[in-house]
Structure formats: structure tokens, C-alpha cells
A and B are shown apart, each in its own frame.
Chain A
Amino acid sequence: MSLPQQQFDGFRLDFPATLDDARAAVRAVVQWLTDQKIGADECQQWELVLAEAANNAVLYATPDQARHPARIEAALTHEEIEIRITDHTSGFDWPEHVELPEDDESEHGRGLFIISTLTDHVSYLRGQGQNVLCLRSRRKTPPPVKENTEETLDLMTAEVASCYETLANIFRLIADAGNDVEPVALATRWLEELRELAGADFLILRMASSDVSALPLLGCAPDTSLWEAQLDLRGTDFVETRAAKTRQDQWFDSSTSFASADPLLKAGEHISGLAHPLESGGDLAGVLTVGAYKPMWEPSARELNVVRSLGDFLGALLHGLHRRDEANQARLMKRELQIAAEIQRSLLPAELPQTPFVHCAAHLATVGEVGGDYLDAILLADGSMLFVVADVMGKGVPAALFATAFHSLLHSHLDLASRPSRLMHRLNQSMFAELDRADMFITAQLVHVSADGHALQVCGAGHAPLLLSNGRQIQEVTADGPPLGVTDDAAYQDFSVSLVTHTHVLMHTDGLSDVVSGGGILSREDLHEWLQSTAATGLPAGAARDSLHRLHRSAVDAAQQQDDATFLVVTRGSQPHTASPQNSLSHAKR
């Protein structure tokens, strides 16, 4: 069998007159048809037709005739496939009407029927020494459209130019972003550039919020207040939110069914364009919407390429800048909290003052960098002492600021310290307006102990009760008024107690044991039991403080909670002795 001869503008193959070679020749023709993009079904039909025709060219050849090879030729036009088979048999008369055998079960006589039925036109030319069977059928597979080389070249040139233009713009954008420009200004400037490059009428850029629940507006071109400041991504089905949720381009035009509240409709009903999702590192960065004031925007490939490529890059860049700003903000916030914590610590004495008769020790907890707990022990000019425990509602910088104000006011009105209720009233009057405006309040407890340690006066403002014990019994003193900041004409009362020797007094915030609300870690009974045993054993203030801290620690560890207890232990000694101020105030900070 010879190879296909290329000088013929089609397919031509000479093959020996054997059944195996005929079969191979048919396969070769079918492969050629497949290469010419003729469909599989059409090739399958031709395979059957040619098999029948090629078999005839072989089966009816005498040994002498079989020495001459048969030939198969195929050619294609736009409309038809034509295949010729030339053999050197004696030939036969092609019947006028090709029918199936009358006997259904006859083993022969179907080849010509198959050929005739599966082709549009058959002609059989019987000649001297050679016969030609010519088969033609209309193409079922349309010929592929010939490529217009010039047009393709133009398109490729435009595409390369567009890529170059986009790349050049990206370099400019990088340089611009390197100038520490503010993101909104950067976006506004580049949206205007992008609008001109894309031949669009308006652009809207929305960047996704940190929790990807909303699309706040970052910028638009032209700069206008037309667009919604923020789109909620939960539930709403607008063109822009759909682009964000599906992460797929959303085209819109005059035939689009907009949701009635879709913000794009603010530009009018006859608008068209594209909402393009922006991604950065697999995350949704935002949505860039490009629109035109006409029923159908048909951007060129170049314009679309610019919108997508430059838009994607701008989105990724702004997303990065946004994340950088967030990190800076977090660092700033942390630093602010550190400063606030330093301020709060500066409000506290390094050591608590002691007198010959009255000793004290305290523990202060702060949650995070800054807490809302406050304590103070002030030795007054007449030798008496003022003890203060307060809790500013909330934590963080606002709580620290109010603690600072509380501290300043307290120290500027120490002339009222011997009458805690008057001092409390003054504090409330001074702070009410600010606390009320900030919707905050402070609970506080003021305890004044006379210089000889015999008399104690207490006043509370929404605070936990004062606990006293002489070792035999427990006394709970409420002496309560409303917290500071709740009402400007709040009335407060003093409650007087005579202190006997070995009396232990406990002031605390609700982190230790919330007697009022029932919260806290230690129960009221726990505290009573501890205080009574501590007083009974005459434990010094520092040791008593440590004992209570250990008790509280073991309780919070068991409950896997934070240590947010603040408390102050005051003891009334039996005889005057030199007080040791060392380690009278301990801190717990997480």
C-alpha cells in the first residue's frame, strides 16, 4: 500500500486488492475526513459505505486482476464530500433500483443497498480494465470558517497594545501608591483615569468590609453623592451585591430586571455596564462597577481588558492599603491602651499608707491593658485615713479616663473626707454630667477611719457592702445610695461603726463576690467565713490580703475565669506599732 500522495488536493491512496488492505485504506480515508473536521457520525457512515465499496473492488477481482492495486480518492468542497474507488475487476451492471434481498435471511446482497442508502449520489462507470465508483454526499458538518489573517493580526496587535497600556498604567499606579497617598484619594484619581480608558460614563468602587458583610463605597467617577454609602451583603439582591456574592461578572443593560431598590437605578433606567468582583489572595476585596448611560454598553476587547486588569490591580492594591491601615490602627489602639494603663497605674500609690493603729493591704486587678477598677488609701492631715474602692462601668480607655477624673476630683475634695456621704455627693455632682453623657456610671465605697482607729464611717454608691469582723461575728454594712452618674440629686448617707481591736474590714468590687447581683466567684458565705477566721487569728493586713487572693485564685482557676477581683483589707491593731508599708498593694494583670 502506498502512502497518500500530496500532489492531489484531497486524499488519494492506492492499495493492493486484498481485504486487509482494503480495510486499512478505508480507515485511512476516515482518518483523513476526521482531520478535515468532518463530524464523528458522518465519518461513521462513510466508513460503512467505503467498506462495502472497497470490499467489492477486492472480492470480485480474479487473481490476475488482483495484481493491480485499487485506488481510493476523496475530495471536499464547501458543500460536498466526494469519494471515488477505482478497481480493475470485470465490473458489473449497477442496478437501476437497489433493493434489499427479498429473503430477509439471505446472507448476501446488502452492500449496494447500504452504499445507495447512505449516500446522496452514486455513479458507477464500468470501463475496459477499470471501473470507477463515484460517491457523493452533502456535508453534514459545515466547513470551519476560514480565518481572516489580517483581521486576526489587527486583533492581536490591539490586544498586545492593550496589554502594554494596562501594564504601563499598573506601573504608574504602583508609583502613585508608593507616595503614601491616602486610599480614597488614590481611588478617586484612578477611577477617573479608568473611566476615560474604558470609555465609560460612570464608575463605582466599593471595597468589602473586614467581615465581608457589607460593601461600603470607597470612590466613584465622576465624584458624586448619588450612590449609596454602603450596601449590605446579607439578603439584598442588587447587581453589585450579586457580583460580590457570586464572585462573577454581572452584566446589566436595559433588559436587566433590577430589584426595585437597586442603587444603580439612581443613574436611570437606560443604563448598561458591568459589575466586576475584585479579589485579593482569594478574598473578596470589593466590586468595581463600570456603566454607561445607554441601553447597551458594548466595550471593545481592549476596554474590557483595561477594566478587568487595571480594576483587579487597583482593588488588590487598595485592599492591601486597607489591611495596612487596619494593622496601624490596631497598633495605635494598643499603644493608646498602654498609655491609658500607665495613667491608671500612676493614679495608684506605690505603697498604701499605714498608721500605728490602722494597717491596710490591697489587691488590684485590671483586665487587658486597662481596667475599670479603682482603689485608693489616703493618709489625711489629721492622721485619719480615707479608703476608696470604686468600679467604673466598662473597661478600656473610657473606663480609665473616668477613673482618672474620679481620682482628680477625689483628691481635690479631701476636705470632705471625714464625712464620706458629703464627699460622695460632691463626686456625683461633679461627674454626673459627663457620666450621663457617656451613658456610664461608677459604683464606689468611701470608708473614713479616725486617727485613733476607733471610729469608722462608710458611704456606698451602688457598691458591694462593707464587711467587718471581730473574729466572732460578721457585720455587713450596706449604707448605699445610687451609683455615681445615675441621678444628679442623689442622696447619700454615712453609717458609723465603732472599731474594736483585731477588727478586720474588707472592701471589694463585684469581681471578688457580687453580693448584689449574685455574680462573682466567691459566695457571700465564703467571704464571711474567710473574714471571720482571718480576724480570729489576728492575721496582719498583708497576710490577710494574700490569703484572700489565694482563695480567689483557686476559685477562678477552677472556674477557668479571669482574676478580676479588687479588694482592700483594713485591720485595727491592738496596740500602736510601726507600720511596714512594704508590698501593701499587689496587682494582677493579664
Chain B
Amino acid sequence: MTLSPNAQLAAPAELCAATARQWRDRLEHEIKAEHEEVCIDLSKTRFIDSSGLGVLLTLNKTLRSRGASLKLLNPSTAVCQLIELTRLHRVFEIIHD
């Protein structure tokens, strides 16, 4: 079996303190060292808090440390507003279809 260099995962509807640990575990399971690019689909995510942002920041840092990249796909308006409020638009690569 050959592994695709890209991984795409859908974030949960609520990426918050209550779901952060479970989501972090899932990322560790799904994302392999061979993945050069990881895309997180945020189109179904209606709510993120600072803990959720923390998970994304940790993932971003981990991937970057081994030369891979993280892309956030289609975040909702509310999620975009939070990212801008916390000035993380300078950190994350955000892609809208």
C-alpha cells in the first residue's frame, strides 16, 4: 500500500475544550510522518474556542517542525472572525473553495 503525501481530515462540529482531547488523539492516529501536507476541513465546524485553536496551533507547530504544512479549509464566518480576532490569520494558511 502506498501512502498519499497529503492527509485531509474533517474537524468536529464543535472544536472546544470538551472535545479537544479526543480530537487531538484522533489527529495523532490519522496523521503519519510521511504526510507532507495536512488539510483540516472546517466547513462543518460551527464553534471553536481557545482550546480548539490550541489544538490547531500544536498541530501546525508539529507539522512545521518536520517540514510538512497545515491548511485550514473553508472555515465558517464565525470561525474566521475568531481567527482574525486572535490574529492567527498570520499563522494559519486558510483556503476557501
Contact = CB atoms under 8 A, between A and B. Distances in A.
Interface in B9-50: 14, 16-18, 47, 49-50
Contacts, number: 59
A108 B20 CA distance: 13
Interface in B45-62: 47, 49-51, 53-55, 57-58, 60-61
Given A55-B49, A108-B54, A110-B50, A23 B61 contact: no
Contact of B87 (A22, A55, A104, A108): A104
Contact of B91 (A19, A104, A114): A104
Contact of B50 (A104, A105, A114): A114
Given A105-B61, A106-B57, A55 B17 contact: yes
Interface in A93-118: 100, 104-108, 110-111, 113-114, 117-118
B17 A59 contact: yes
Contacts of A77: none
B78 A111 contact: no
Given A100-B87, A105-B91, A20 B54 contact: no
B16 A23 contact: yes
A297 to B, nearest CB: 47
Contacts of A44: 78
A240 interface: no
Interface string B69-97: 00000000010001001111011000000
B58 A107 contact: yes
Contact of B86 (A22, A59, A100): A100
A342 B93 CA distance: 97
Contact of B53 (A19, A55, A110, A118): A110
A44 B17 CA distance: 17
B28 to A, nearest CB: 15
Interface string A50-71: 0110010011000000000000
* A contact residues, range: 20 to 34
Contacts of B53: 107, 110
Contacts of A118: 85
A105 B17 contact: no
B86 A114 contact: yes
B90 A22 contact: no
Contacts of B90: 104
Given A105-B91, A117-B85, A51 B49 contact: yes
A419 B18 CA distance: 123
A527 B91 CA distance: 104
Contacts of A522: none
A55 B47 CA distance: 14
- Which of A19, A20, A113 counts the most B-chain CB atoms under 10 A from its CB? A19
A48 interface: yes
A279 interface: no
Given A52-B50, A105-B60, A110-B50, A19 B87 contact: no
A107 B50 CA distance: 8
B86 A113 contact: yes
A31 B51 CA distance: 22
Nearest to B56: A107
Contact of A107 (B17, B54, B85, B87): B54
Contacts of A58: 17
Interface in A12-64: 19-20, 22-23, 44, 47-48, 51-52, 55, 58-59
A19 B55 CA distance: 16
Contacts of A23: 14, 16-18
A100 B86 CA distance: 7
Contacts of A114: 49-50, 82, 85-86
Nearest to A24: B18
B86 A110 contact: yes
B58 to A, nearest CB: 5
B47 A47 contact: yes
A47 B79 CA distance: 13
Interface of B: 14, 16-18, 47, 49-51, 53-55, 57-58, 60-61, 78, 82, 85-88, 90-91
Closest 10 CB pairs of A and B: A107-B54, A110-B50, A23-B18, A19-B18, A51-B49, A55-B17, A111-B50, A107-B57, A19-B17, A110-B86
8 contacts: A19-B17, A23-B18, A44-B78, A51-B47, A52-B50, A104-B91, A107-B53, A114-B49
Given A59-B17, A104-B88, A113-B86, 13 more contacts: A19-B18, A20-B18, A22-B17, A22-B18, A44-B78, A51-B47, A52-B49, A52-B50, A105-B91, A107-B53, A107-B55, A110-B50, A111-B50
